[in-house]
Structure 1
Amino acid sequence: MTLMLSRTPALGELLATCCHTGRMRSEQVVSVQGDAELIARAGHLIESARTEFVCAARDMRTWSQPEAMCAIRNRVRAAASTGFTCRKLLSPAALADEQARAHLREVQRSGTLVRISGSPLPHETIVIDQRVMILAGRQTPGGREYTVTTSQVLVDGVHSLFRAVWDSAVELDAYLRDDVPHLDADSRLILQALGSGATDESAARRLGVSLRTYRRRVAELMAKLEADSRFQAGMRAAELGLPA
């Protein structure tokens, strides 16, 4: 049963009671609209997780408001605390650019366990201490609709599904190692030219191709390395251990 906010106690009060007692006062499913309302009513629950914080998401863009991002970031930082477990399960789309990869490496260094799954994932699902669950809906002009529940049946069911997908997912470092693109001889020569600082004209002559062809191949190499600039292409290649 979905209870509209106008007909129920404040969401924060309702869920805080459940969390503080360790029991459900009742099995509630409540909807809120947008990040701001979610954080206003349930943000403290995200930050007060004591034993486990798990998150499954397609990409890194679900939480758009600074307050929401801050609440999630604080929980991720707490992963280094003794007895606290933080897991992030993401789809390959979350690794779309180097900034996202760098962020996830930093998250991992802080103690959070990060895995990548090829299975279809929701927009975002968070389970806090196996007692509270937050589900994110699709983005709409009015913001995302979030469903928050303390129903132990629902929480346990989703948590079990999360663990099943988690167990078959690949650790971030292993996924990135396996995701290394193959570079042919010409691509390695181009990579070497980029690293040497040679002009396009000089590099094109060295490869025996026209300037136009050389620049096209540079663009193809950048796309293969998922780099936005030539400098980033070199950094990405070094990071992946690709030979020049």
Structure 2
Amino acid sequence: MPEFMKLRGEEALLAHTGELIKSVRKEFVIVGAGISAWPLSPVCAGLLRVLETNNGHVVRKLLSPVALADAKYREYLHAVAAGGPQVRIAATPLPHNTIVLDRRIAILADRNLSSNREYTVTTAPALVGGIYALFEAAWESATSIATFLRGEQPFLDAESRAILRALGSGITDENAARKLGMSLRTYRRRVAELLQTLGARSRFQAGLRAGALGITD
């Protein structure tokens, strides 16, 4: 497969990448910008459902909040998450629909939702790596679907989540501050702010609260 390829329409996408998609071994990532983020023809929908069954690989699905506007789709996502895949809702709208396969291949769809939409497929390591890094950043600040729908999720940015992980690791404040690239005073101030955000009276309670909300991973 060439490092960069443009494809027009579902049939061309399946002809060139269908077998690659089915051959995922380690991780399948899908980013959806809206309710109809990906084509829902029987063939494409069936292929995505096979991957979402999590047959020995990690499945992560990141969606824009608008994807939850449809009640039937919400039920579908609940069923997907119950089957093993991780489903999160992004903190902000997502600009593009993207699939990443085993961190080796990236597929981006344009915003045209017709069956004749254009897809960009790349295996270039630098491009795939950059796309995956952007996904990781969005995933880090996203919320699990169950927590999002309960409306219990306080917004925590990437730095707050890093502080939570530092608290849970048991390292000293000095080491945590150094690891996160901030002064000890700033780190302790951020910890205090985090406790207030989570409604916790102690660091231990903050860890329990974060775990209950599903925002520690």
In which range does the TM-score fall when normalised by the shorter chain?
0.5 to 0.7
The whole-number CA distance in structure 1 between the counterparts of 2:41 and 2:115 is 13
Alpha-carbon distance, 1:140 to partner: 6.6
Structure 2-normalised TM-score? 0.66
Alpha-carbon distance, 1:131 to partner: 0.3
Aligned to 1:75: 51
1:138 partner SS: coil
Contact 1:36 1:67 (8 Å CA) reproduced: no
Alpha-carbon distance, 1:147 to partner: 0.3
AA matched with 1:161: L
After superposition, where does 1:163-178 map in structure 2 within 5 Å? 163-178=136-151
AA matched with 2:10: D
- Aligned-residue Cα RMSD (Å) equals 1.8
After superposition, where does 1:96-107 map in structure 2 within 5 Å? 96-107=69-80
Q: Of the candidates 64, 85, 89, which is equivalent to residue 40 of structure 2?
A: 64
Alpha-carbon distance, 1:67 to partner: 1.3
AA matched with 2:100: V
AA matched with 1:96: A
The whole-number CA distance in structure 1 between the counterparts of 2:12 and 2:67 is 25
Aligned sequence identity (%): 40
| Structure exhibiting the larger radius of gyration computed from Cα positions | 1
1:46 partner SS: helix
The whole-number CA distance in structure 2 between the counterparts of 1:97 and 1:128 is 27
The whole-number CA distance in structure 2 between the counterparts of 1:96 and 1:34 is 26
Give unpaired runs (5+ residues) of structure 1: 1-13, 15-25, 180-244
Alpha-carbon distance, 1:118 to partner: 2.8
Aligned to 1:41: 16
Aligned to 1:231: none
Render the CA deviation track for 1:105-140: whole Å, top value 9, x for unaligned. 011011110000132313410000000000001217
Render the CA deviation track for 1:195-219: whole Å, top value 9, x for unaligned. xxxxxxxxxxxxxxxxxxxxxxxxx
Structure 1-normalised TM-score? 0.59
After superposition, where does 1:207-218 map in structure 2 within 5 Å? none
Moved more, 93-102 or 139-148: 139-148
Aligned to 2:99: 126
Q: Moved runs in structure 1, 4+ residues, more than 4 A?
A: none
The whole-number CA distance in structure 1 between the counterparts of 2:117 and 2:147 is 33
2:95 partner SS: coil
